[in-house]
Amino acid sequence: MLDFFRELTQIKPNIFFAYDVRFEPLSVELRYDPEDVENVRDVPRERISLPEQLLLNILLMCPQKDGRYLVGKEYAEKALFYLHELLPGEIKLPPEKPWLSLRYALTTSANNFRVAVDLSDTSFKFLRDVPKGRLARAEKIFISFLAGVPVSNGCFYVNQKLLARLCYLLAKLDRRQICGTELNFSSANPELRGVFSEKKGRYEFLLQIGGKVLRADNAKLLGEKNQVLLFANTIYQLDHFIAGALAKYLTGTAVYLNKAEALQFSADCLPVLTERGLSVELPESLRELKNSVLSGPPTPVLEIVKEAEEILEIKLSYDYGLPERPEYRADDESDFYEVQKDGQTYYLRRDKKSENWLNVYLSDLRFTARRNRFFIEHDYFVDFMTYEFPNLRKTIGLKVLGEHLEQFVYTDQAFSVDLAFTQSSGIDWFDFAPLYKIKDNVFTHEQIQGLIADNKEYVRLADGSLIKVPKQEFAYLQSYLEGRSKKTAAGKYQVRKYDLYYLYSGVREQMSAQVDASLQTLLAALENFSGIAAAPLPAGIQGQPRPYQLHGFNWLYFLHEHNFHGILADDMGLGKTLQVLLLLAGLKQSGRLECPALIVAPTSVVYNWVAEINKFTPGLKVLVLSGSRDRILKVKEAANYDIVITSYALLRNDLAHYSGQQFDYLVLDEAQYIKNPKTGIAKAVKCLQTRWRLALTGTPIENSLSELWSIFDFLMPGFLSSLSFFRAMYSGEPKRVRKKVHPFILRRAKTEVLTDLPPKNEIDSFCELLPEQEALYLKVLQAQKRELLSALRTTDINKMQLNILAGLLKLRQVCCHPALVKNERLIVESAKFNQFKELVAEILENGSKVIVFSQFVEMLSIMRKYLDDEKIKYAYLDGATKDRQQLIDNFNADAQLPVFLCSLKAGGVGINLTSANYVIIYDPWWNPAVEQQAMDRTHRIGQTKEVFVYKLITKGTVEEKILALQKKKKSLIDAVITSDAAAEKKVTKEELEELLAY
């Protein structure tokens, strides 16, 4: 019953209700002033029973100038005429009769109230001239109110919302009679007084108004929100706080309080009610009861009262330092608890705020409250005892009672896993059965899997202690086994040898992992290439390899010893060729090169291999399969040689003749040639029969991670799964790719290993288009912009990449020289070409040599004509050039041959031009890795001079945009091979719009 008093305590003191109501059609704004209302006389009417029907007799009177009131027929006629003016469609002027009275009947029903206007037995003459201002202000407002009330059949219908307003307006009229008895209207709250009546140890609470007790049979609440009270011939206007409290009081049962509830009332509610004007009289016995109140801080106690197989039933109580502990009860709203102490009865005032906090906190920890008890699953209770209880015991003194509580606290000790690798019958496979170990207890992988399937959080060990099931650690190993392993008939898992490190390192990140001592050295070598044994250097080597080259040789030997395959990804110019030759010479010397090694290289570097073999390992017999007609016959003689060298193009054409031919090694030089797995070259090299495979490339990734996948699909098919799976799992995640491929890629940068290599300076050299050249550029630009951007409305940009490159190619040609553009040969001058001529003249004047790269053979032809006209000697290399090596050797040896013109594609890889220390990149290329390869033709071992690289850029054009795009494009090589930042790159719509801007 205390909720009733809580309603009362919400009443706010000094509430003032200001009405601001507008009723159509008069839109009267009410500001009540008691002095504005004139006294009116009352006219008694017949008696009607209450409260079913309430008859209010109101005679509206008009005060005269002499102080008298106009009454009777004259006034009635005016009043009714006034109503007729307000409601001409509803108030009809009745036929002439000797007398007029207006009767308003207020009738209650379930949902609404009706005010009836009775015009029976009335008559008057229609008066056209009605004096203004004859009604009192309150009377006019009242009639105006009626004007806004719905009317039907001569009756005004007042719903519950309007009832409070009606009573308020009636209260402004001085005289009202109800059945001949004065009916009072009050626009304020009634003065309530509370009294307690003690009966048999309980206290009944009663409310009084004016000394009279309010009961359901003598008081009635009216209105939509019970804001009108009819009691003792008085209608009261209630605020909503009082209305809510009285509604509970009048509609509920009698308000009885036991002693604890009465104490709570006197402690909590009484001070507030007294402050807010509600007088409450307490009996003497209740005042004395307040002296027996005890209080103090509670200590919460959780006690296990029942332990089922999966669920614990727990009782929550609070220790206040007394013989009894009050227990948690869901429906207990009392703050007082009766206790016995020293033979006397006391009342404990509980700290409900602290108690309720813990109740809510426990609910958040998977404790479920039912029937005044808490229930929780065993595993969740273990979590609570392990993680939450120590802190709660420290902060609020929480106690937990029960037998064998130690069984609910798990040991904070981690599992370790013994992978137990054993080499299976196949040299490339290892068997293993993971064993999870902790405190002399061993669990199989299947046992842990079963615990997780049963949703177990903990497992009990032989010594009775609890251990948390290693779900996260198990999940990693299980995901690996599901995707990459197979089971043997003996129930063991099998893993490929090349996956050992990836599996071991991943498990080690989750928990302590053990492997056989015999594998520790192997895994350490795969992790950081440390501990790799030095291989015996073959005899007869010409020259002394550098230390990093010896390390590379040892790494290649390590791969051979363990039947692995890999990528030697050193920077261009660090001697990848020499390191492979050392390996092959060493294998031959030890009698382990049973079949020849096949080396596949770009056509431009085939004879570079021959030169390197003759220079460093002359003891190796070499067979070159070149473009001669008898090369097919020579394939069958391969077994008589140590090394067979051919080009990618010839291998693709001659693939059928390699059938049945066995090679110990297949070495791909410039392995980026197979970056596209769909090409004939990529398919061809993967068809050859070979025991070991190596890939040599300074740029294993030029544009996307898929290129790296293609190389590894050649080296170790299946290592990176299928291409679709690889793209789905590793796209945008270079860290994961690096972790996987790291043991099989060796990369050193020149800055790391060649401290004696002279510096390289890259210079962006800008020029501006000439007027005629600029006009042509804008013409081509607008055409491409219309074509490409229009196509984008209907075509996905990923399907337009070739169209985009073709369109941008035309813009680049205008920048290089207008003569490259079809039908535009009349424009004979180019700003960039003028810049090129000045730069070449300056370089030659200094006595230096220069290499010039361009993607466009037509541009090289323009340069050749200029050099011929100027009588400047030059060497020239493109894809059609024969005797390439002789050409390169001549350039390096002849000081009077200062210029080397080279197509970017033909001369960007595999050639050594260290006699020059100047490089001109005439037209920038999308891929910075391709440009880097071109620069490294001079910046490599053997270079003794500082190298200067000039990139010629036409300002404000697509070339400058390409330069910016290069700088934005993160290097996938650094991400996967060296560091942790990368992103695949295609031209996006936004980038295309930027490229086409001018």
> How high is the pLDDT of residue 215?
82
Task: Give the contacts of 707 (CB within 8 A, at least 6 positions apart).
Answer: 672, 675, 676, 700, 701
Domain boundary, last residue among 182, 200, 216: 182
Structure confidence at residue 377 (pLDDT) = 86
In this predicted structure, the answer to whether residue 630 has a pLDDT above a threshold of 60 is yes
Who wins on pLDDT, 623 or 504? 623
Whole-number percent of the chain with pLDDT over 90: 21
Please give the pLDDT value at position 906: 78
Q: Are residues 586 and 560 in the same domain?
A: yes
Global pTM reads 0.54
Residue 142 pLDDT exceeds 70: no
Indicate the DSSP class of residue 282: P
Q: What is the mean predicted confidence (pLDDT) over 666-681? A: 93
Judgement on whether residues 887 and 919 belong to the same structural domain of the protein: yes
Question: Which of 511, 527, 543 is the C-terminal boundary of a domain?
Answer: 527
Question: Does one domain contain both 631 and 660?
Answer: yes
Highest mean pLDDT, choosing among 320-324, 666-670, 790-794, 958-962: 666-670
Does one domain contain both 869 and 973? yes
**What's the pLDDT score for residue 858?**
93
Instruction: Answer yes or no: is pLDDT of 281 > 50.
Output: yes
Please indicate, yes or no, whether residues 835 and 932 belong to a single structural domain of this protein: yes
- pLDDT attached to residue 357: 86
- Poorest-pLDDT segment among 401-410, 593-602, 628-637, 702-711: 401-410
> Among 375-379, 564-568, 590-594, 703-707, which stretch is predicted with the lowest mean pLDDT?
703-707
Looking at the structure of the chain, the number of domains it has is 6
Contact 597, 584 (CB under 8 A): yes
User: Residue 285: inside a domain, yes or no?
Assistant: no
pLDDT recorded at residue 85: 47
Q: Is residue 284 part of a domain?
A: no
614 — phi, psi (to 5°)? -65, -30
Tokens 């990618």, residue located? 648
Q: How does 414-439 read in b/e, with b if 16+ C-beta sit within 10 Å? A: ebebbbebeebeeeeebbbbbbbebe
Q: Which of 753, 772, 806 is the last residue of a domain?
A: 753
Q: Does residue 536 form part of some domain? A: yes
- Do 505 and 545 belong together in one domain? no
Tell me if 633 is assigned to some domain. Answer: yes
Q: Is position 17 within any domain?
A: no
One domain, residues 403 and 438: no
CA distance 745 to 741: 7
pLDDT for the residue 852: 95
Domain CATH for 610? 3.40.50.10810
The mean of the pLDDT values for the chain is 75
Q: Are 978 and 747 in contact (CB under 8 A)?
A: yes
> Is residue 53 in a domain?
yes
pLDDT in tens, 163-173: 677 777 766 66
Cα separation, 244 vs 162, whole angstroms: 19
- The model's pLDDT over 462-492, given as tens digits with 9 standing for 90+, comes to 776 777 788 887 887 887 777 666 677 667 7
Residue 20 lies in a domain: no
Judgement on whether residues 421 and 332 belong to the same structural domain of the protein:
no
For residue 65, what are the domain limits? Answer: 34-182
Q: Select the more confidently predicted residue: 965 or 885.
A: 885
Let me know whether 402 and 467 are in one domain: no
Smallest CA-to-CA distance from 298 within 315, 317, 320, 328 is with: 320
Which of the residue ranges 246-255, 568-577, 761-770 would you say has the lowest mean pLDDT? 246-255
Secondary element (H or E) of residue 730: helix 723-730
Q: Are 584 and 642 a contacting pair, CB within 8 Å?
A: yes
Sequence-distant (6+) residues with CB within 8 A of 435 are 417, 418, 420, 442, 443, 444, 445
**Do residues 293 and 302 lie in contact, with contact meaning Cβ atoms separated by under 8 Å?**
no
Residues 171 and 196 in one domain: no
**pLDDT score of 37 more than 60:** no
Please check the confidence at residue 863 and state whether its pLDDT lies above 70: yes
**CA 956/CA 832 separation, integer angstroms:** 13
Q: Looking only at Cα atoms, what is the longest distance across the chain? A: 149
Q: What is the pLDDT of residue 410?
A: 67
Number of neighbouring beta carbons within 10 Å of residue 29 = 11
Lowest mean pLDDT among 33-37, 810-814, 898-902, 960-964: 33-37
Buried-state track 735-770, b at ≥16 Cβ within 10 A, e below 16: eebbbbbbbbbbbbebeebbeebeebeeeeebbebb
Residue 16 lies in a domain: no
308 and 247 within one domain: no
Between 45 and 978, the more confident residue is: 978
Looking at the fold, whether 157 and 95 belong to one and the same domain comes out as: yes
- Residue 25, preceding bond cis, omega within 30 degrees? yes
* Residue found under tokens 């996307």: 704
